[in-house]
Structure 1
Amino acid sequence: MLETTYSIHKEDIRITCSDQFQLAGTLYKPQTNTKGAIMLAPATGIRRRFYNSFATFLAEQGFGVISFENRGIGDSINGSINSINASLVNWGVLDMRAVLEELKSQFPNQSYHLVGHSAGGQLVGLMENASELKSMFSFASSSGSLSNMEYPFKFSALFFLNFFIPFSNLFFGKTNSQWVGMGEPLPKKVASQWSKWCNSKGYVEADFGKEIKNHHYNTLSRPSMWLYATDDGIANHKNVNDMVRVFPKSETEIVALHPKELGIKTLGHMSFFSSKNKNLWKYALDWLKKNE
C-alpha cells in the first residue's frame, strides 16, 4: 500500500465554458509543491463524486486534480435538461477544453495530464487544446462498438442502444439511464450520439466530416496508456484496439487487467475507481510519475 505524503485542500468550483455555460467541478490541491496537474474526465452520465476517493489519492500523492460533470449531468444542469446544449461532441469541444483551461489557471507552469474513464478518454481528440496535455491515461475507454461485443452481454447492449434510448428520448425527451443502472439521466442528443457511435466503428469516427468538422485525433502524438479489464463487456480487447486506431500518431500502450489473476471477483467497466481496488491505482500513479 502506498503511503500518502501530502495534505490537500478540496473545494467545489464552477468552470466557465466558452459559451458561458457553467460546469460543476471539484478541485483537489496538494498543500505543498505540486508534481503535475490532472483533469479527471468522467464516463458518460457519471457524477464526479464517484471519483472522489481516486482523485483524493492522486492529490495526496502530490498531483493537482480537477474532476467535473459534463453539461446536462448532475450539478452541471442549468435549467431543464432538455434545453441544455449538450452532446458528446460538445462535451469534448466545449466542456473538456474549459476544464483544461481551468486546470492551467489553478496550477500554472505544470505538466498537464488527462485521466479519462470511458468517454473521458474517447473525447480528448475533440479538445482544441488537447496538444497541451503531456500524457493521457484511460480506463475502459474504447470504441464501444456493438459489433465487437460478445453474447450474452451483446443482447443487453443492443436493447439499451437501439430500443431503450430511442424509446426514452421519444416519450420523455431524455434518456432515463438510471432506470437500467446506467448512471444519470442523459440529455437527448448525448444518448442519440452514443447510440449512433456505438453502432459504428471507431466511436467518434462515425461523425467525422458530419457533426465533427474539426478534430485532433489524427495529430495527437502524446503518450497514452489504455487500461481495460478482461471482464468488461464494453471495452473489450477488440474495442480498445478499435479506439486506439483513431489516434494514429499517439504513442500507445495497452494493458489488460485480469480480475481472477489479481484476486478480484469483478472489475468490469467501473470498479477500477472503487476504493476497494486501491491497489490498482498504482497503474495510474506510475504512469503519471513516468510522464511528469
Structure 2
Amino acid sequence: MSNPNVTDTIITCGDGVQLAASIYMPTTSLKGAVMMAPATGIKRQFYANFATYLANNGYGVITFDNRGIGGSLHGSIKHNTASLQCWGEKDMPAVLEHLKTTFPKIKYHLVSHSAGGQLIGLMPNAIDISSMFNVACSSGQLRNMRLLYQLQAHFFMNFFIPLSNGLFGHTKSQWVGMGQPLPKTVARQWQLWCNGQGYVKTAFGKTITQHCYDQLTLPSLWVNAVDDDIANNMNVADMMSVFPKLNGQTLTLTPSEHGLTEIGHMKFFSSKSQTLWPLALNWLDKH
C-alpha cells in the first residue's frame, strides 16, 4: 500500500464546535470523494488503513472524530454536551461541506460504520450524498439479540451507562471495551435508542423535530456479518425500515468464505480484513 498525502485539519461546525479530521488525497486520478462516518466512540485513526486503501484507488477521503471523542474532545468530558443527535445534525453536515470544498464537483459517498449510517437522516445536506455503503449499521435493538449477548448488552446499556454517568459524569465505555469514553448525553441517547424500535425513530417528535429519513432515496448497501451480535439481520432490517423510500440492498458476510476467522461488529476495517475492502471499492466505482 503506497502512502497518500494525509493532512490533519480542523472543521468548524455551524455552532462553533471544532472537529479534528484527516484528509486523504488520492494517489491516482480522482473518481469521487468519501466521508468516512465512524461508529459510536471510535476515533478516526481506526479507519486510517481503509482510508488509505480508498485513496490509493482514486478516492479523496475524510475521516473525523465526532464532538466529545478523540481529537474533538475539548476540556473535561464530564462537561461535554455532545449527543448522538448533534453528531448527525451538526457534525456530519459540517464534515460533508468540508469534503465538498476540498473535492469540488465530484460525486460524494458516505461509507459508514454503525452509528455513521444510522444518523444520515439527521443531516440537512444528506441530499448531496450519491450513495451509502454501511458496515455493521443497524438499530441495535436489544430484544433482537441472541439471549447471551442480550444479557451483556442490557448490563452495559441499562446498568453500566446510568451508573457510570451518575458516578463520573460520563460513561467510561473503555472499561468494557466499547471504544472511547462517552459524553453522558451520547451514552444516554444510545441507551434510549437501543431499547426502542427503529433506533433514532424513538426520538421522532420528541427531541428530533426535523429529519429527512422519509425522503432519502439514494442507493445503499448494508453489509453485516453472521458473527455480529449487534447488527444481526433483524436489527439491520429494523434500521432500514426507518428509511421508507431508500434504495437499499443487504449483504451478509460469512468470515470463513473470505478466509477470515471473524468479522463481527468491528473487524471489517481491520487491516487483517483487507480481503473485504474491494466490496466497498466496487460499490463506490458503480455509483
TM-score interval, normalised by the smaller of the two chains: over 0.9
Shift of 1:265: 1.2
Alpha-carbon distance change, 82 to 34 in structure 1, aligned in 2, over 3 angstroms = same
State how far apart, in whole Å, the 2-side matches of 1:265 and 1:277 are. Answer: 10
Q: Does 1:159 align with 2:142?
A: no
Out of 142, 148, 155, the residue aligned to residue 146 of structure 1 is 142
Equivalence for 1:121: 117
Q: Structure 2 residue aligned with 1:267, among 231, 251, 263?
A: 263
Structure 2 counterpart of 1:224, from 207, 213, 220: 220
Query: Displacement, 1:138?
Result: 0.6
Map 1:72-87 → 2, pairs under 5 A: 72-87=68-83
d(CA) in 2 for partners of 1:280 and 1:75? 28
SS of aligned partner of 1:231: coil
What TM-score, normalized by structure 2, do the two folds share?
A: 0.98
Structure 2 runs not aligned, ≥5 long: none
The Cα of 1:37 is off from its aligned counterpart by 0.3
Do residues 202 (structure 1) and 198 (structure 2) align? yes
Once residues 84 and 101 of structure 1 are traced to their aligned partners in structure 2, the CA distance between those partners, rounded to angstroms, is: 24
Alignment identity in percent?
56
Q: How many angstroms apart in 2 are the aligned matches of 1:162 and 1:19?
A: 31
Q: Distance in 1 between matches of 2:139 and 2:201?
A: 9
**Using the alignment, how far apart are the partners of 2:3 and 2:143 within structure 1?**
46
Alpha-carbon separation, structure 2, partners of 1:279 and 1:216: 34
The number of equivalent residue pairs is 287
Q: Are the aligned partners of 1:7 and 1:30 in contact in 2 as well (CA < 8 Å)? A: no
Amino acid at match of 1:215: H
2:241 corresponds to = 245
Shift of 1:31: 4.4
Q: Which residue of 2 aligns with 1:254?
A: 250
For residues 265-285 of structure 1, the C-alpha deviation after alignment (integer angstroms, 9 at most, x for no partner) is 111100000111101001100
Q: Name 1:66's counterpart in structure 2.
A: 62
Among candidates 38, 42, 47, match of residue 46 of structure 1: 42
Q: CA deviation at 1:9?
A: 1.0
Deviation at 1:33, TM superposition (A): 2.6
How far apart in 1 are the matches of 2:18 and 2:184? 19
| Equivalence for 2:30 | 34
SS of residue paired to 1:138: strand
Amino acid at match of 2:71: D
Shift of 1:151: 1.7
CA distance in 2 between counterparts of 1:56 and 1:7 reads 7
SS in 2 for 1:234: coil
Q: Scaled by the length of structure 1, what TM-score is found?
A: 0.96
Equivalent AA in structure 2 for residue 39 of structure 1:
M
Task: Answer yes or no: is 1:182 the counterpart of 2:186.
Answer: no
* Alignment-mate amino acid for residue 120 of structure 1: G
The alpha-carbon deviation at position 263 of structure 1 amounts to 2.8
Q: Secondary structure at the match of 1:152?
A: helix
Tell me, in whole angstroms, the C-alpha distance in 1 between the residues paired with 2:169 and 2:81.
Answer: 13
AA paired with 2:272?
K
